[in-house]
Structure 1
Amino acid sequence: MTPRLPALLSTMLLLAGCATSPAPVAVATPPAPSQGSLYATTWTYGSAEAVALGHQAYAALTGYVTARLPALQGSAPFESALVTGTDASGQPQRAPCTAATRARPAVVLDIDETALLNTGAQYHAALGHPYDEAEWAQWLDDRAARPIAVPGAVAAMAALRRLGVTPIWISNATNARQAVVAEALAVAGLGAAAPLDTLYLRGDVAPGSSKQPRRLKAAETYCIVAMVGDQAGDFTDFIDGAKRPLPDRRGAADGAFAALWGQGWFMLPNPVYGAWNTPEATLDTAIPPALRWQPK
C-alpha cells in the first residue's frame, strides 16, 4: 500500500536530516588543576595574607635602605647587597661599592610576582594550560594596559626615589618585549625604566636566564644597597642555580645566606611557580624521614 503524501514527506525529511547532520565534535578541555596548585594560586592572588606580606616586605625594604644611606656618606668601606662569590668556608662575598657608585644608590628588583602580579595569566594556567612562550608574550602585551602592582610596591618605589635611590628592574622576560614591560611598570605607578640602565631583560647582557651578569652590569654604575625578588635566583645563583636537591637549597638559604634575609635581601612569596620546583618538589624531597609523623 502506498503511504499518504504527508507521511512520505516527513519520513524523507527525517532521513535527509540524519544523513547530513554532522557528527558531534569532541571539545578538548584542559585538565583540572591539582588541589595543591589551586591552593597556591588562590593564596597568592586572592588572600589577605599575601597582601600583608607584600606590604611587610616593602616596608622592611624602605626602612633598611633608609638606615643604610648615611653610611654611604662616610669614608668606611661599604658592602653592597650584591654577592659575587663565596670564600673558602662557603660564606658569601659581597661586592664593595666604589667611590663613584656610592653617589648612586640603587635597589635591584625582579618584576613578576615581585613588583607586578600576573593574576590573569596565572588564572589561565591554573585551568590546566601549560606554559607557552607565545601565550606569555601575548599576556605581557595585554598586562601593559592594566597592570596590578604587588601591594606595597608603589609606595616603596616613591619613597625610595624621594631618598635619591634608583629602582633597577631585572626580569627574565625576553628583551623583545622591552617596550611593554617598561609600559606596565609605568602604568602601574612604579616609575619609568630605561633599557640597559634601569631595566635589564633576558638577552640584554648575556645569553641564558641567570641574572648575575645583569646584576654585575648594573653594579658598574650603581651601588646596590638592597635586592628584592620572589625566587632565590633573584639574589644569587649559589642557592638553586645548579638545580640541587630541595633540602640542599633549603640548607643554603638557612646557612651561609641566612644573615642576608631582611638585611639587604627581601623575599616575597611565590608558591605558584619557579626554579624552587625544578625538579618538581615532592613530599619525600621536602620532608625527610626523620621529620615525618603519623598518629599511633
Structure 2
Amino acid sequence: MTKALPILLGTLLLGACASQAPHSNSAASTAVAPAPVAAVAVPADDNLNAVAWTQTALEHDLIYQETFRSAQSQLLAALKDKNWDALPAEDRITSSKQLKPAVILDIDETVLDNSPYQARLIRKGGEFNEADWAAWCKEERARALPGAVAFTQFAARHGIAVIYISNRAQDLDAATLDNLRKVGLPVSAPDAFLGLGIILPGCDQVGTEKNCRRQLVSQHYRVLMQFGDQLGDFVTVLSNTPAGRAQAMAPYQDWIGSRWFVLPNPAYGSWEPALFNNEWSTPRAQRRQQEIQALRDN
C-alpha cells in the first residue's frame, strides 16, 4: 500500500489536469469541426482575362512586334511590284498601276491601345457605351501598340502614304489625329483619317462596314498592305455569322501575312455578336449563355 500510494496519487493528479484542459467540459468532450466558410459568389466578367492579357502579357507585345516587322521586311518588294494591290476586287474601282502607294491601317487595337478604357468598364461592371467611349478618345491618352510607330514611319520615309480607316465617329477626328501625332504615328493630312460617316457617292455602305472608304482610297492610291484586328478591316462581311465570316475571308487566305496583317483582339469585336445573332438588345446573361453554348469541348 505504501508503494502504491504515490502511484495512485499521480494517477489522480493527471486525471485532474486532463479535466482542466481547454474545451474539455462535458458538453464539448467530443471534437466539433469548424463550420465551413460560405463560398463568396464572384460575378463573372468575361472580359477580365482578355484585358489582363492585353495589358500584361509579354506575348501580346511580341505578336505586334512580329507582325509589323514581318510587314516592314516585305514592304519595299510590294512597292516595286506594280501589280501588287491589297484591296479586294470589289473595292478596287479604278486601275491601281499609276497611283501613289499607300498602306491602310485600322486605329483601335491596331495602332492605338484602348485597353485602359476596357479596364474601366471591368472595374465599373459596365458595358461599352458611346458617351464613355467618346470621353476616353478625347483624353488622347491611348498609347501606340508595339511596332506600329516604327512600321508607319518606315512607310512614310519611303513615300508611302499612311491612311487610317476607323469606325470612330467623325466628331472624334481632331482628338484622334492629335492622339496619333502624340505617339509618333505619321499623319500627312487630315484626310489621312477616314472615320465613320464619310460618304462616297454611288457606294452603298452597310452598317459600319468600311467598303466605301476603301473604295475612296482606291481612287487615289495603290494599296500595298492592310492592317486590322477585325475581318471588316479588310473585306466586307455581309453575313456576320461564323459561317458568313469564314466565307468572306476564304478567297483571301493567301494574302494573310503578305498583303493583309491581322492583329489579336480578345476583348471585343464583331466575332462576339456573331455568336448571339448580333442581338445586342438581348440581356447580358443570355448573351453570355449563348457564347458558352458556342464553345467546343472536344
Q: TM-score, normalised by structure 1?
A: 0.74
Shift of 1:94: 6.6
SS of the counterpart of 2:187?
Answer: coil
Corresponding position of 1:256? 251
Aligned residue pairs, count = 238
Cα RMSD (Å) of the superposition?
A: 2.3
Give the Cα–Cα distance (whole angstroms) in 2 for the partners of residues 32 and 110 of structure 1: 36
2:96 aligned residue (98, 101, 120)? 98
Alignment deviations for residues 193-247 of structure 1 (CA, whole Å, 9 cap, x no partner) = 5233x11000122564111100110111111011000000000013xx4212x25
Preserved contact between residue 64 and residue 264 of structure 1 (Cα < 8 Å): no
Shift of 1:98: 2.9
Corresponding position of 1:166? 161
Give the Cα–Cα distance (whole angstroms) in 2 for the partners of residues 155 and 32 of structure 1: 42
Corresponding position of 1:81? 86
Does the C-alpha gap of structure 1 residues 258 and 98 become closer, same or farther in structure 2, counting only changes over 3 Å?
A: closer
Give the Cα–Cα distance (whole angstroms) in 2 for the partners of residues 214 and 32 of structure 1: 44
Give the Cα–Cα distance (whole angstroms) in 1 for the partners of residues 104 and 42 of structure 2: 37
Structure 1 residue runs without a partner (length 5+): 1-30, 73-77, 86-92
Alignment deviations for residues 108-143 of structure 1 (CA, whole Å, 9 cap, x no partner) = 00000000000221111222211111111111111x
Give the Cα–Cα distance (whole angstroms) in 2 for the partners of residues 162 and 111 of structure 1: 20
Shift of 1:285: 2.8
Q: Which has the larger radius of gyration?
A: 2
Shift of 1:47: 0.9
1:129 aligned residue (126, 131, 135)? 126
1:64 aligned residue (41, 60, 74)? 74
Comparing 276-285 with 111-120, which one deviates more in the overlay?
Answer: 276-285
2:177 aligned residue (140, 162, 182)? 182
Does the C-alpha gap of structure 1 residues 169 and 33 become closer, same or farther in structure 2, counting only changes over 3 Å?
A: farther
Does the C-alpha gap of structure 1 residues 261 and 117 become closer, same or farther in structure 2, counting only changes over 3 Å?
A: same
Q: Percentage identity across aligned positions?
A: 30
Corresponding position of 1:202? 196
SS of the counterpart of 2:258?
Answer: coil
Preserved contact between residue 80 and residue 95 of structure 1 (Cα < 8 Å): no
Give the Cα–Cα distance (whole angstroms) in 2 for the partners of residues 33 and 65 of structure 1: 47
SS of the counterpart of 2:102?
Answer: strand
SS of the counterpart of 1:107?
Answer: strand
Give the Cα–Cα distance (whole angstroms) in 2 for the partners of residues 33 and 54 of structure 1: 32
Structure 2 residue runs without a partner (length 5+): 1-40, 277-290
Letter in 1 for 2:262: M
Alignment deviations for residues 151-185 of structure 1 (CA, whole Å, 9 cap, x no partner) = 00011111111221111000000001110010000
Structure-to-structure mapping, 1:211-250, within 5 angstroms: 211-238=210-237, 241-244=238-241, 246-250=242-246
